[in-house]
Amino acid sequence: MAWVEIVTLLAVVQLLVFGILVGRARETYGIKAPATVGHEVFERYYRVQTNTVEMMLIFLPVLWIAAKYWSPHRMALIGVVYLIGRAVYCRGYVRDPKRRSVGFALSALPTLVLLVAALVGAIRAALIYY
């Protein structure tokens, strides 16, 4: 499970980095807290962070549950694709929101795969122990 733990911690680090980027954009564009609007580029950084929080609420539980029932190494690899997708999403969204689709897909699809794996694993376990 060490690889799953590493992917989990990298996801947390990535979210912290996105938060730092939001703070830097807030300073750069003169957006005073608690405002979340005011400059388009700041708003893009803010949306990346917010969307990442929303995705992590789904990603982390399904990663851990899937890793309980299937190979933790393989589930961690799927998690790495998620992390790459989030980075691509950030880069694309900040440059041009229309360019966020590839990054979003690279993080949403692995999350969906993990969700299905977790659900199938849990159902199989429930049927075996029933």
How far, in Å, are 28, 117, 120, 123, 126 from residue 130 at the CA level? 58, 20, 15, 10, 6
Domains recognised in the chain with CATH numbers: 2-129 (1.20.120.550)
108 Cβ neighbours under 8 A, 6+ residues apart: 55, 85
How far, in Å, are 47, 56, 64, 85 from residue 122 at the CA level? 33, 20, 12, 26
Handedness of CA 122, 57, 55, 64 (dihedral sign): negative
Stretch 81-93: mean pLDDT: 98
Answer whether residue 52 shows pLDDT above 80. Answer: yes
pLDDT of residue 129: 79
Answer whether residue 48 shows pLDDT above 90. Answer: yes
Record the pTM. Answer: 0.95
